[in-house]
Amino acid sequence: MQIFTELTKNPNLSIALGFFDGVHPGHCAVIESAVNYAKINNCKSAVITFKEHPYCFFYGKCPKYILKRKDREYKIKNLGIDYLYELDFESISGLTAYEYLKDVLVKYFSPCAISTGWNHNFGYKKSGNAEFLKNNSKKFGYEYFEIPPKKVNNETISSSLIRKYITEGKIQKANSMLAYKFFTSGVVVKGNQIGRTIGFKTANIVYPTKLIELPHGVYSINTNFGKGIANFGTRPTLNGTNPVLEAHILDFDRDIYGENLQVEFNKMLRPEKKFASLEDLKKQIKKDIEQID
């Protein structure tokens, strides 16, 4: 997959439109629609999206994301897309839906097909939608595919609902909508090394500032080194102030400072709390480990 951050002439593409934060099953269906059409009709496929969410431009503050951009790119690549365009939203923010279709999509990509989700909006004041793309398909010579919503437990899958579940600590509900486990990763850094003094050595990573923030608490996790538990928070028992993600990996005793640690969250076990002593904390950690499936 080739990645572009500027518009380039690249005609006869089957394109998928959307921001695709999370690349959940609804997003996958849109992208797979573009890929499948390209394969059947001997053309190339592309995702046209943005570096940052349009919300950043309109409100001056970006939402917290479900995936880091590199992880979003990786998941899109794995769906078989040939080209990924991550554009600056500001450069097209003033265009009407018709101008965006004619002067961007048609001018640069001459699309043979366009796929979007059922609720996709674009253009100034969200004047473009699925009906608009369908009505203009013959005029500009593309086939249009409107992908219906995907549901889990009678709920429509959406990035906003997934974010809501994550911020509420309802990790299992979020994971069921994502069809994978919410995760983050980072380089292991040195902490205060208190954990090893009570028999629970931890690998610490800095939680990405752009990623949607979990409630401070203890979680059952999987990592690329094994399963375990993690505390995300300020570590009040140790009078900490800055949030950090500390992972205790079961049956693992190797120093991995400087290595990349990926942490998948299975479920929230309990909120973070301050204990009267390190001994009390140690007892609670043992109880937390007993809750791991």
State pLDDT tens for residues 39-65.
999 999 999 999 888 777 766 777 899
pTM score, whole prediction: 0.90
Please name the residue that has the structure tokens 């931890």. Answer: 202
Q: What is the pLDDT of residue 238?
A: 61
Please give the share of the chain, as a percent, with pLDDT higher than 70.
Answer: 94
Q: What is the pLDDT of residue 234?
A: 78
State pLDDT tens for residues 189-237.
976 666 565 667 889 999 999 999 999 999 999 999 999 999 998 776 6
**More confident of the two residues 59 and 19:** 19
